[in-house]
Structure 1
């Protein structure tokens, strides 16, 4: 266990040192961001989010997500997975939640597959911020919003998504939001409804321009 903690700490330190220029990336203006991305387009529109695949093994996956200004990666989970997210440019607002045991939850407020969760934090991350971490039991659900322009982040998941082994991505919608004009204190318990991704969210693909990563 001590070795795992030391290795995790070392990985955090290394990831904290990564900059956009190390991956041959540069911040994009609104025009460039709107033109970027290939595949998965709808009605000729550029995707709000694009993904640059770097590498994937049985143990981990690594890639870069690029978000247009105002784009959002909807609330989703990472079942049984650990992850690190490092902002390369721009500003992200990340809301992190923990799933709560079903036995401790009251009846859901709506029919359908509902999940009780603890909304733990809602923070802004920039390239100067340390990596955002998630584990199977902490901050495993999160929503990512680009704030004040385009943004990009390096994403590492261990192990990677694999539906055949129970690691499939699920999307959720917050059922009980705060009253209009209010920002309640955190942490607080919330209800989530499992749902399909929003109609205005899809992910395109772009070639990765940076150095080759050898697992």
Structure 2
């Protein structure tokens, strides 16, 4: 497993990303954090763009769009449900504890991918929703790791823990 504590100043963001084949336990330790999360629609619904330079998009369902303020419950993201694709925005200075199992490991397909979300209505090629409202769905396109994303690694000074 891998444990991380993210400390956010107000308005800082971790962009929309995933935790493939991983379960994540998250807990807001102090402050307030806005969380927007999605799950992929199954069976997979992909739209290829006919416009040059426009990315392929995949349909996802909105799971959560709310603010968590400490003290609050622990959230659990499963590999295929619970909002595994998500972004964080600090409403106030805050900290979040994440426990990931198993940890990221690129050679086993557990690599973080970043996404951009587009409203469902942006796809004009006849896609229809059978459950819910259009506002509950979005098209997600893979994107490069944002250039302005910077996470300062922490230093652990306590005893070594074997898990």
> Structure 2 CA distance, aligned partners of 1:174 and 1:66?
25
Decide whether the 8 Å contact of 2:57 with 2:139 is kept in 1.
yes
The answer on whether the counterparts of 1:78 and 1:169 sit within 8 Å (CA) in structure 2 is yes
**1:210 to 1:188, Cα distance in 2 relative to 1, 3 A:** farther
- Please, what TM-score do these two structures have when normalized by structure 2? 0.79
**Quick check: which one's helix share is greater?**
1
1:107 and 2:47 are equivalent in the alignment: yes
Greater strand proportion: 2
- Confirm or deny that 1:140 pairs with 2:84: yes
Number of aligned pairs? 149
Alignment partners' CA distance in 2, 1:106 and 1:76 = 18
Instruction: Indicate whether 1:150 and 2:150 are aligned.
Output: no
Deviation of 1:126 (Å): 2.0
Structure 2 residue corresponding to 1:131, chosen from 66, 74, 83:
74
Q: Does 1:80 align with 2:24?
A: no
- If the length of structure 1 is used for normalisation, what is the TM-score? 0.61
**Structure 2, unpaired ranges of 5+:** 122-132
Distance in 1 between the 2:156 and 2:135 partners? 37
Deviation at 1:159, TM superposition (A): 0.7
Of the candidates 132, 135, 141, which is equivalent to residue 193 of structure 1?
A: 141
Deviation at 1:116, TM superposition (A): 1.2
Give ranges in structure 1 of 5+ residues lacking alignment. Answer: 1-59, 179-184
Rounded to whole Å, the distance in 2 between the matches of 1:209 and 1:186 is: 49
In structure 2, how many angstroms separate the alpha carbons of the residues matched to 1:83 and 1:196? Answer: 22
